[in-house]
Amino acid sequence: MEWKRKDLIGLEDLKKEEIEIILDVANSFKDVSKRSVKKVPALRGKTVVNLFFEPSTRTRTSFELAAKRLSADVLSFDVSSSSVAKGETMVDTAKNIEAMKVDCFIIRHFVSGAPLIISQNVSASVINAGDGCHEHPTQALLDLFTVRERFGKIKGLRISIIGDILHSRVARSNIWGFKKLGAEVIVCGPPPLIPKEIEKTGVKITFDIDFAIENSDIIYLLRLQRERQKENFLPSLKEYSFLYGIDRERYEKIKEKAFIMHPGPMNRGIEIKSEVAEEERTLILEQVTNGIAIRMAVLYLTIGRKI
Ligand code: CP
């Protein structure tokens, strides 16, 4: 199978084989970041624009470094000081930047569906860097890559995603990705933060955090998305931390060959105790490292070859 897409909007749209192509291409790019000269000419002459309508540390930096390591020119567009502040629409902004002959937009937006709308209005490639509560495809791809690298496979593993499933685009993309590659996915968290319809994606629901921790290969912790919560879902953060946070006692109960993952940013002391975040069986910074190879692969596949 060949990669034929102009855009990457979400993992829900992708076939298993397309996900595997991205992981394999990422594998071939991983070594570039280990060299003293961290650059290959694959995207020389191409222009990539970071268009972030929401804050980001990891995704924005990672896309910028990935594009630069492929020799593309990169523009990180500052939305807050742009004409968006004067009322210019998101689509007009993208069309005006496209008129300057760019090849790819990396879009993060607080509205679910915003990257899809832009992709329908420009000829350049559009890569979703996280939209509302919808999807964060490159986060899930780097998570799949990290798990595949550690275990040598994904099929047959059990992944428990713990926390605020309701507001998490990371959870949604990971559910699609891990299910398509044959893993069992369990979601766990406070009942108001677990949407009932999530079962339609083939995941199992448990409210028993200790079952999830003791019986999973990957314990994937989520941040409470307080910026997206429109009402009070929890009595207190202290209670959440007590009921669903990973402290040393819970960490000691994970399976011998299990790992803890987190997409970042972490709320230390809430979903994960600070000392656990530094433990040997956490993959948090490894995930970040692998993000570069994944984003190099996605950029290369979408704009590096003739479609
Ligand atoms: N994981 C993630 O999306 O982090 P940022 O918000 O810092 O990009």
Q: With left for phi above 0 and alpha for psi between -120 and 50, is residue 4 left, alpha or beta?
A: alpha
Tell me the per-residue pLDDT of 150-188, one tens digit each, with 9 for 90 and over. Answer: 999 999 999 999 999 999 999 999 999 999 999 999 999
Residue 129 alpha carbon, nearest atom of ligand 1? 3
* CB-based pocket (< 6 A), ligand 1: 56-59, 130, 136, 139, 263-265
With beta carbons less than 8 A apart as the criterion, state whether 185 and 202 touch.
yes
Residue 229 is predicted with a pLDDT of 64
Q: Phi, psi at residue 111, to the nearest 5°?
A: -100, 125
Separation of alpha carbons 28 and 35, rounded Å: 13
CA–centroid distance, residue 65 to ligand 1 (Å): 15
What are the DSSP calls for 125-177, one per residue? EEEEEEETTTB-HHHHHHHHHHHHHHHS--TT-EEEEES--TT-HHHHHHHHH
Q: What is the DSSP letter of 104?
A: E
Nearest CA to ligand 1 atom 6: 56
Residue 33, burial from CB neighbour count under 10 angstroms (0-12, 13-18, 19+)? middle
**Helical pair 137-151 and 58-69, crossing angle rounded to 10 deg:** 80
Architecture of domain 16-135+288-303: 3-Layer(aba) Sandwich (3.40)
CA–centroid distance, residue 1 to ligand 1 (Å): 31
Fold of 137-285: Rossmann fold (3.40.50)
Bridge partners, residue 47, by sequence: 73
The answer, yes or no, to whether residue 307 has pLDDT greater than 60, is no
Tell me the per-residue pLDDT of 82-113, one tens digit each, with 9 for 90 and over. Answer: 999 999 999 999 999 999 999 999 999 999 99
As a whole number, mean pLDDT of residues 120-135 equals: 98
- In the block, residue with structure tokens 């948090």: 284
Q: Both ends of the chain: CA-CA distance in Å?
A: 13
Domain ranges of the chain: 16-135+288-303, 137-285
CA–centroid distance, residue 228 to ligand 1 (Å): 15
Q: SS3 of 259, please?
A: strand
Separation of alpha carbons 61 and 46, rounded Å: 18
Query: Greatest CA span in the chain, whole angstroms?
Result: 56
Rounded percentage of the chain residues whose pLDDT exceeds 90: 91
Half-sphere exposure of 181 (CA within 13 A, CB side): 26
User: Which of 21-35, 233-247, 286-300 has the weakest average pLDDT?
Assistant: 233-247
CA–centroid distance, residue 56 to ligand 1 (Å): 5
Residue 82, burial from CB neighbour count under 10 angstroms (0-12, 13-18, 19+)? middle
As a whole number, mean pLDDT of residues 277-283 equals: 96
Tell me the per-residue pLDDT of 30-84, one tens digit each, with 9 for 90 and over. Answer: 999 999 999 999 999 999 999 999 999 999 999 999 999 999 999 998 888 899 9
Angstrom distances, CA of residue 130 to CA of 60, 172, 219: 10, 11, 22
**Helical pair 16-29 and 284-303, crossing angle rounded to 10 deg:** 110
Q: Which 3-state string (H, E, C) describes 205-222?
A: EECCHHHHHHCCCEEEEC
Is-same-fold flag (16-135+288-303; 137-285)? yes
As a whole number, mean pLDDT of residues 127-149 equals: 98
